[in-house]
Amino acid sequence: MRDRESQKKIYPLQFAVMCNGTAFQKWQADAIQELRSHGHKLILLIRDARSMPDRKLPKRKPKKKFRTLLFSVLENRMFKPEAREMVDFSAELEGIITLPCGIRTKGCSEYFYDPEVEAIKTFNLDFILRFGFGILRGDILNAAKFGVWSFHHDDEMAYRGGPAGFWEILNNDNVNGAILQRLTNRLDAGMILRKGYLKTVHHSYKGNINQLLSISSSWPAQVADEITRFPADFQELSPTDAPIYNIPDNLTMIRFLFKLFFNRVRFYYKELVAAEVWNVGLIRKPVHEVALEGAKLKSSDIQWLRHFGETKYLADPFGFIERRKLHIMVEDYSYSKQKASISEIIYDLSRDSFSVPIRVIEEDEHLSYPCIVEDDGNIYCIPESYRAAQIVLYRRNYSEEAFMEETVLLSGIEAVDPTIFSHNGLWWLLFTTKKFSTTHLFVYYAEKITGPFLPHLRNPVKIDIRSARPGGFPFYYEGNLYRPAQDCSLTYGGSIVINRIVRLTPDEFTEEIVNRIGPVKGTPFDKGLHTLSGVGNFTLIDGKKYRINRFFFMSQMSEKLKKDYSENA
């Protein structure tokens, strides 16, 4: 296995930035800073000569078309996110060579002049990051070894053109795609370097844009790092033939504003009033039948555990069988305490009876998602404890029938839903993080269950709100490894997708969705499903519903007041 130092070694790439000057939008400045912090070298600024002061020519303000006037006026007044605030970057760029370049236009396309392309080639660049100019075509696209890199903050398979993040809200799309691409002569149909899917922020256009820009700003550094490790590993060209969108007209904008208003009312109702209530269900079928056979679950297939009303809920079931008893480990959440511990419910197979929840792991911080795994005759539990910024391995003490802390697997990481399993001679630890709890999947691996764990070379290995966050224990069937994951695109814990893991090594991660399991209709808990785990010939799931809860309302109002006070202090 590679040692930790060799994993971290990055060979610097040389890059240029296309820009309009030394002032950048915050997210662009963050992208440049991230690249430099990874050791990559900015050696050239390719500046648009049209943006440079020219005393001989009067400044001409661009004309605003009346048919798109409403969007043009509101874009920088009502919809401007923090990520687009301008920052003076001149001090950080001191000493960097600046090359002013003019362009010739042909239709909507812009072409660099041949002498300027040749001048850029003399710098022996690895890549050029585009934060200026327009729709580029021609020889400039091949002026660097790995081309010109540009962002498109939509799913290019659905929307080309712009404005970014707008049409997803108008068209009620659950997800908003984004790509970092190597430009080609086809608009928004380049070579995909990095792609991700985020939940559309339907109630806030500003918020939707802000998340797209902020999250994607780290992608150039991640791609540059990967190039140094896997120089030949480029993706294929996007096959998109999606329609090209333009700035919305005034009538479309009026529809858009009404939609934003109603989306916001619905959002704040759920945010402040509608509390989630989860419960655990038992299905008397092996996990592969539930997860893979495709037949929809019926309400009669599920035996729900006792429901505790507004005081608490049970969720995230995992389990193990011991002495003809099924031990169901759950998150035991108290609304009055705003905190959860790990409890155990014992199902006596011979008597067909369930015990009350018995608390077995409790810490000062919130605990949930008690992932259970067996190794060498021992039963281990890894609960989620992101607020403590560590992943702790607990081992079952048989004499006391309790779980005792064994070791800390990782520290300094706010891991969400950590899931551990063995595959091809290694132990694998998969999780998302609090910052990207539903979108970014991280992988670590070790030779022993107790570690030490090393990060996967491509972390985050996946950015997709539809199938990243772990949602239960992985399982084998007919030689294939399957991973349950959460689809949070419609709502948190909306449904489970089953991914087949195609490649899992310290260098590679590939998986494909093979099935989707939605909430079971006709049951009291039909608004969500976010955990699916197999135990012998049983499958454990959970389901949710919404209800008005006074503890939830008081907690949400308290958090909102604290946030408003801190922002205005």
All domains of the chain, ordered by start, with CATH?
9-267 (3.40.50.170), 273-568 (2.115.10.20)
**Among the listed residues 566, 569, 498, 496, the one whose alpha carbon sits nearest the alpha carbon of residue 529:** 496
Q: What is the pLDDT of residue 55?
A: 40
Predicted model pTM? 0.90
Round to whole Å and give the CA distance between 26 and 89. Answer: 10
pLDDT band of 60, cuts 50, 70, 90: very low
Q: What is the pLDDT of residue 554?
A: 62
Q: Which of 219-223, 317-321, 544-548 has the least mean pLDDT?
A: 544-548
Question: Are 550 and 542 within 8 A, CB to CB?
Answer: no
Round to whole Å and give the CA distance between 252 and 255. Answer: 5
Round to whole Å and give the CA distance between 261 and 266. Answer: 9
Average pLDDT over residues 414-432: 97
**Among the listed residues 105, 102, 120, 115, the one whose alpha carbon sits nearest the alpha carbon of residue 49:** 102
| Chain centroid, CA 77 distance in Å | 29
Instruction: Tell me the pLDDT tens digit for each residue of 236-274.
Output: 788 999 999 999 999 999 999 999 999 999 988 877 777
Answer yes or no: is pLDDT of 2 > 60.
no
Q: What is the pLDDT of residue 59?
A: 46
Stated as kind and residue range, the H or E segment containing 148 is: strand 148-152
Round to whole Å and give the CA distance between 468 and 474. Answer: 13
Average pLDDT over residues 550-561: 63
pLDDT band of 187, cuts 50, 70, 90: confident
Question: Which residues 6+ apart lie within 8 Å of 256 measured at CB?
Answer: 166, 169, 170, 205, 248
Answer yes or no: is pLDDT of 68 > 80.
yes
The residue ranking higher by pLDDT, 180 or 351, is 180
Q: What is the pLDDT of residue 553?
A: 63
Average pLDDT over residues 33-46: 96
**Among the listed residues 394, 392, 396, 395, the one whose alpha carbon sits nearest the alpha carbon of residue 415:** 392
Question: Which amino acid is residue 500, in one-letter code?
Answer: R
Answer yes or no: is pLDDT of 423 > 70.
yes
Average pLDDT over residues 403-419: 96
Average pLDDT over residues 221-246: 86
**Residue 68, CA distances (Å) to 250, 256, 548 in order:** 5, 13, 42
Compute how many other C-beta atoms are within 10 angstroms of the C-beta atom of residue 543: 24
Instruction: Classify the C-alpha dihedral 57-60-62-63 as positive or negative.
Output: negative
Question: Are 290 and 517 within 8 A, CB to CB?
Answer: yes
The residue ranking higher by pLDDT, 325 or 351, is 325
Q: What are phi and psi of 205, to 5 degrees?
A: -65, -40
Q: What is the pLDDT of residue 52?
A: 75
For residue 55 the two structure tokens come to: 């005393």
Average pLDDT over residues 429-441: 96
Answer yes or no: is pLDDT of 62 > 70.
no
Q: Is 66 helix (H, G, I), strand (E, B) or coil?
A: helix
